Chains A and B, each alone.
Chain A
């Protein structure tokens, strides 16, 4: 997933970014409210991790503005303000979750997963699409009941496609999902990872329709070759 981390403290920011990257996320980090305001307009992020006490623009007012403008991006507040009234204010402003500092990296990523799951209308952390099983918590993928080892990029790509089965994602959208702002992207990066996925899983699983983009075919299901027979 591509996350937007809004945190003014450089140590927390650096550590959280690194930790979330290790989990396979793409993390863009901004240090103040104004930058966050600009970053969200790109609409490339899946979740915003929002600190409240921010320089130049308070996190809470930022969140309220997003919600007022109809920007529905999932937001997890991460803050040192732990009073019940603060939590209520944060959730009422439109936050999807509220995490009080000091927090655990594992808890942070679990909440990120939970928020995206809820947004996608799922309640379990394991997605099943035909013969494909994706466990977002452990980042393990099974194909026809057997575990398949994927690279972090391949997993992120698969997860992006699996988030909305049947929907088409363009190469640019996938690139944005996979790479942060300052990462160099090889021109054929997406194709390379798609190729890897097709090789490890099944070539019919990911379809490419010219002009529309890539999609996960939810029903390559009960072994296509057997169907042919």
Chain B
């Protein structure tokens, strides 16, 4: 940055110098044209007024070869009677007054005047004039060129001083390990850079929050996996110690249950990870929520029957919602699965209907319910109610809430009919028609 600034600033200064020189050059040339034209004319008029004969003129000008004017006298018949510099050819004038002539020896400015049948022509090489203008221009440019190194030095130092805090900030950022996400100090940072530091700090803060959330999740997940793993290990040891086939069969059966439970926990963890805002990739498409609910109810029916529960579905046709079908199915599964899992006897009723612009899904059971004080906490990851039955991962409702919120909806828990059991209600906005 320092080098770039230096190059740009010096180039600008130099460019300015050249521009000034060019202007001076043109102005000087214009002035010198006027001045030299006047001189040329005066010379010609003087020669006319002296009324020299050709010979006298030649005599008067002898030895004056270094004059930077070429004086010629032409006869009426167009013959050259006299030339101060015979080696230089300037064509005969086509008329009187000023004109420009291009010859082999360069560009000439010419002034011609009539005098008693003769044409007196005075010519001056244009180079002489331009040399003057050029000289003026160079003199203008010179100071620029001379101060350039000094300017460069000053710019280098000044920019360096102003950029130093940027370097310290950059070093502060570079020194940061992925673990240390404290904000960067914005003291002694100029106003122009402050927004950058502020947004960097903002990013760091969000990164830190996301990171600690992830860490917490991993820690919780690891902790949560310990329980099923402990059960598996103990169950395996019991199977190994079995003294007869009967004992072994029983031990292996409980081991199988343990594996089913561990699998469930792992699946729930994966479902949870998939619902992380950072991992959202699924396309949102129109989904028939009541159709998804009907599918899940049919899939869960054998489980309910095995427990002797009555699983009822009351589904009203409804417009589509916009969403991720797989996630929505996971949400419905979790709700119905929970209801069946925690209801020892009685029934689980599933209802879908439309209220205003929202699709509503209700799952009501006749289980123990959740005390009002705990209803908010059960949405926390890995939270299990005080009287929660075994086998839950503590993630189900957390997953449900996440999916509902991703679809712009909400989840609420209430008492079931007659103050008994649990009623879970999900509202998700219908697609605008």
Question: Which residues of A are interface residues toward B (Cβ below 8 A)?
Answer: 9-12, 14-16, 18-19, 22, 32, 55-56, 80-81, 101-106
Contacts and interface: CB of A to CB of B under 8 A. Distances in A.
- Most B-side CB within 10 Å, residue of A12, A22, A55: A12
A10 B390 contact: yes
A102 B226 CA distance: 6
Given A11-B254, A80-B226, 14 more contacts: A11-B261, A11-B390, A14-B254, A15-B234, A15-B237, A15-B254, A16-B234, A18-B238, A19-B234, A101-B230, A102-B230, A102-B233, A103-B233, A105-B234
Contacts of A56: 386
A157 to B, nearest CB: 22
Contacts, number: 65
Interface in B185-234: 223, 226-234
B127 interface: no
B157 interface: no
29 contacts: A9-B231, A9-B390, A10-B391, A11-B228, A11-B231, A11-B234, A11-B254, A11-B257, A12-B230, A12-B234, A15-B238, A18-B238, A22-B238, A22-B241, A32-B386, A55-B384, A55-B385, A55-B386, A55-B387, A80-B223, A80-B227, A80-B230, A102-B229, A102-B230, A102-B232, A103-B233, A105-B234, A105-B237, A105-B238
B223 A12 contact: no
B235 interface: yes
B132 interface: no
Interface of B: 223, 226-235, 237-238, 241, 254, 257-258, 261, 384-388, 390-391
Contacts of A106: 237
Contacts of A19: 234, 237-238, 241
Contact of B235 (A11, A32, A80): A11
B237 A103 contact: no
Contacts of B258: 11
Nearest to A78: B230
A12 B227 contact: yes
Contacts of A9: 227, 230-231, 390
A104 B226 CA distance: 13
A15 B231 contact: yes
Contacts of B254: 11, 14-15
A188 B427 CA distance: 66
B249 to A, nearest CB: 14
A14 B257 CA distance: 12
- Most A-side CB within 10 Å, residue of B230, B235, B238, B258: B230
B233 A104 contact: yes
A104 B235 CA distance: 10
Nearest to A9: B227
A19 to B, nearest CB: 6
Report, nearest first, the 4 A-B pairs whose CB atoms are least far apart. A15-B234, A11-B231, A10-B390, A102-B230
A170 B95 CA distance: 155
Nearest to B231: A11
Contact of B237 (A11, A12, A81, A104): A104
Contacts of A101: 226-227, 229-230
A15 B237 CA distance: 9
A103 B241 contact: no
Contacts of A11: 228, 231, 234-235, 254, 257-258, 261, 390
B229 to A, nearest CB: 5
A4 B261 CA distance: 25
Contacts of A32: 386
A140 B234 CA distance: 24
A56 B284 CA distance: 42
Contacts of B226: 80, 101-102
A80 B229 CA distance: 10
Nearest to B239: A15
B235 A55 contact: no
